[in-house]
Structure 1
């Protein structure tokens, strides 16, 4: 086996710098996806048929098409419509955030519907407004139930963020590919990139379990 990891040692700091690019994209996309996901979930369980249809259509489109296609449409196709180019970072955040919102909306919808109906009936009987009931009573209970699923979506988003390399964002994968081109050795830097992603996912998994245990104790 013609492997020599010593040749990429000088490039390790360069590849590691991509972690911060990945983290910035993932955090911004997760925030966008979570915020939009809540709105879509409320539309889906609401009584306004038009909003329910729009939310279901949105989810169907973003779950039914490849993420990389959505990213390429936003980065390469959208400038054709709006008349100016979009940088790689906002394009990635927008694509990942919109895509994640479709999945998160289904998770939140299921969590809301899993809350005991008696909670809603008691709130209405006490005259609590719908918005306040959802914000202070239903959603907090739903979040406790869906935390593992939300954490899993965040982990998936972290791994899928690697596709930003196709639009030139200088994330972990892109930097590993550049190092491979400079050294004519692709296996070693790509393995290093895989190890970095693996460590990040393990860290997120442990964080999720810690938060889950803390929430159980607070019950």
Structure 2
């Protein structure tokens, strides 16, 4: 039977590296999520656009990024651009962009679904008050949609945090890759894999708790109807 030595986790040399890499994981995830919100908003409104070319481009984007694995997208972006176009790529930047583009396809559906769930009468009421379409969306529809999209957006952020571990495949030193580097040095595989799992678990549960608190704060009571 293998002997486990979890005391190695108390050595600051290794614990410090894990915590530092966890911080980078959080930064990469937040960067990717911020980009996904921008892309998701554009794709969501593109899908709802009356202009057919814009709608087709949005649907094509959605189809591609939902239909191909994130790992393949990472490799195409990081290794493919230098080969095809001679563009120098930076691993961390490529990772954030890939996370954002991948997640943007999913956030677009959250945004579109939340907007379309608002009664059309509210859009008509805003227009009858003299608001433009953009003003009605900004002042009437979007504030209500934000409440409805909060829970699925929280889930998407949690998923993106876990997916960030794939950045290790393009040499980004985030939490999972740092753990593998330490494992290669110490041969303590299960000890550090368990530590990594616990760190991901804690971060994702913090995200979940923040999401729940925001839901309660912004709740209007209509969400349960």
TM-score exceeds 0.5: yes
Q: How many residues align?
A: 219
What is the Cα deviation at residue 87 of structure 1? 1.1
Q: For residues 39 and 75 of structure 1, what CA distance do their matches in structure 2 show?
A: 24
What SS does the corresponding residue of 2:143 show, helix, strand or coil? helix
In structure 1, the partner of 2:77 is: 74
Determine which of 177, 183, 196 is the counterpart of 1:193: 196
Q: For residues 214 and 8 of structure 1, what CA distance do their matches in structure 2 show?
A: 38
Indicate if the aligned counterparts of 1:8 and 1:179 stay in contact, CA closer than 8 A. Answer: no
In structure 2, the partner of 1:98 is: 101
Q: Deviations over 1:127-175 (max 9, x none)?
A: 3111111122111111111110011101110111011111111111011
What SS does the corresponding residue of 2:219 show, helix, strand or coil? helix
In structure 2, the partner of 1:20 is: 23
In structure 1, the partner of 2:65 is: 62
Q: For residues 23 and 88 of structure 2, what CA distance do their matches in structure 1 show?
A: 24
What SS does the corresponding residue of 1:115 show, helix, strand or coil? coil
In structure 1, the partner of 2:35 is: 32
TM-score, normalised via structure 2 length: 0.93
In structure 2, the partner of 1:155 is: 158
Q: For residues 217 and 108 of structure 1, what CA distance do their matches in structure 2 show?
A: 18
Determine which of 82, 86, 90 is the counterpart of 1:87: 90
In structure 2, the partner of 1:182 is: 185
Aligned Cα root-mean-square deviation (Å): 1.5
In structure 2, the partner of 1:45 is: 48
In structure 2, the partner of 1:5 is: 6
What is the Cα deviation at residue 126 of structure 1? 2.5
What is the Cα deviation at residue 13 of structure 1? 1.1
What SS does the corresponding residue of 2:44 show, helix, strand or coil? helix
Q: For residues 29 and 151 of structure 1, what CA distance do their matches in structure 2 show?
A: 14
Structure 2 unaligned blocks of 5 or more:
none
Q: Deviations over 1:25-44 (max 9, x none)?
A: 11111111001111111111
Q: Deviations over 1:65-95 (max 9, x none)?
A: 0001101111111122332321111101100
TM-score, normalised via structure 1 length: 0.96
Q: For residues 189 and 106 of structure 1, what CA distance do their matches in structure 2 show?
A: 37
What SS does the corresponding residue of 1:201 show, helix, strand or coil? helix
Structure 1 runs (4+) greater than 6 angstroms displaced: none
What SS does the corresponding residue of 2:188 show, helix, strand or coil? coil
Structure 1 unaligned blocks of 5 or more:
none
